[in-house]
Structure 1
């Protein structure tokens, strides 16, 4: 059984994953938790460090969804009203990019759920049907064609796809459990925020959803 699951993963094109920092949401009922780190490596920044302090957990969509937020040692707890899909927006202060002199403003966007067929964030993966596997990648309500989208499966393996000419991407979800999708977009427009100028805006978004059916993942024997 373990060998057949591994074979299925390889056939589906999934591979061991790696990536940069993300903000993502995990939810159980009316309580969600926002994390900052690497989902595929089970790594969350800690309150005792410096980086988690950048994530405030104040801008939650839709409007009125957030009832209360509480800091955790490894993230932020969000107590929610009665809402379906939710989103969290974290816009950081402009700073120089790694290895370059360009001043970039990074905005992390995190969505949980694929039950609503509408955009919640500036950069979003919008399901074309409730709980479906085809999404439209949108930036400010306009499709992004030929743009990379990465999906991480419950066993933390990943697969990168490209949106088509209409901005659509279709994924495979053979396993039961939590999935994360990620996309990014660099906006070349300059701007000023809080008195600080920036030359570009980098948007990094995640979408987390739970597949209620499928193959139960079993760790392969070492």
Structure 2
């Protein structure tokens, strides 16, 4: 029975890891709130059932700002400006030997600058602009799939142009969430080991006023 349960869990891991995302919310110059869950859905009271797996997200650039665990999110007194977070330890690698898979999350709150600071990032093409590009290692990802989640949780997938850019219509006031996944396959280094597939999942949030 334990073997069957483990097999079922491993089979469900790819879907779970891809459905779950890390995202950051910030209101004005207040503290940042780091979430794990499904951003297109309303979070249950106390946070997503997998929230306990979000243990030590890292600010980019590195910061000594204290992290306080709240009901459903981690609160961080982040420095002023856009907030960037990465985490490669939410889900442990899963799958069979030689076919292991893993996931790394990259999250950003704000669109005050067009600077790129993480290996994968959905960034505005201009400060406070309305067009965004998926950037991998500082270069745009042509034809990237970027999903836009509106303040009322309506979501729509966009295909980026040759420069990796989308320009969604921001007709509502409130918080938008942009998400994108970039997959790598091969003999890939991951936390001192090797995996055959690596999911890079990025989010960017901002408030449209």
| TM-score bracket for this pair, using the shorter chain length | 0.7 to 0.9
Deviation at 1:136, TM superposition (A): 1.9
- For 1:202, the equivalent position in structure 2 comes to 199
- For 1:86, the equivalent position in structure 2 comes to 83
**In structure 1, C-alpha distance between the alignment counterparts of 2:42 and 2:117, rounded to whole Å:** 26
How many aligned positions are there? 189
Choose the corresponding residue for 2:73, options 45, 63, 75: 75
C-alpha root-mean-square deviation of aligned residues, in Å? 2.4
Q: Contact (CA 8 Å) 1:44, 1:75: kept in 2 or not?
A: no
**Residue pairs, 1:1-222, within 5 angstroms:** 20-28=19-27, 29-43=29-43, 46=46, 49=49, 51-64=50-63, 66-81=64-79, 83-92=80-89, 93-96=92-95, 102-212=99-209
Deviation per residue, 1:13-32 (Å, 9 max, x gap): xxxxxx81111111132301
Say which SS state the counterpart of residue 67 (structure 1) adopts. coil
**Greater share of residues in strand:** 1
Q: Contact (CA 8 Å) 2:37, 2:48: kept in 1 or not?
A: no
Q: Contact (CA 8 Å) 2:94, 2:100: kept in 1 or not?
A: yes
Structure 1: 5+ residue stretches without partners: 1-18, 213-222
Structure 1 residues 87 and 157: CA distance shift in structure 2, 3 A: same
Q: TM-score, normalised by structure 1?
A: 0.77
Structure 1 residues 206 and 35: CA distance shift in structure 2, 3 A: same
Q: TM-score, normalised by structure 2?
A: 0.81
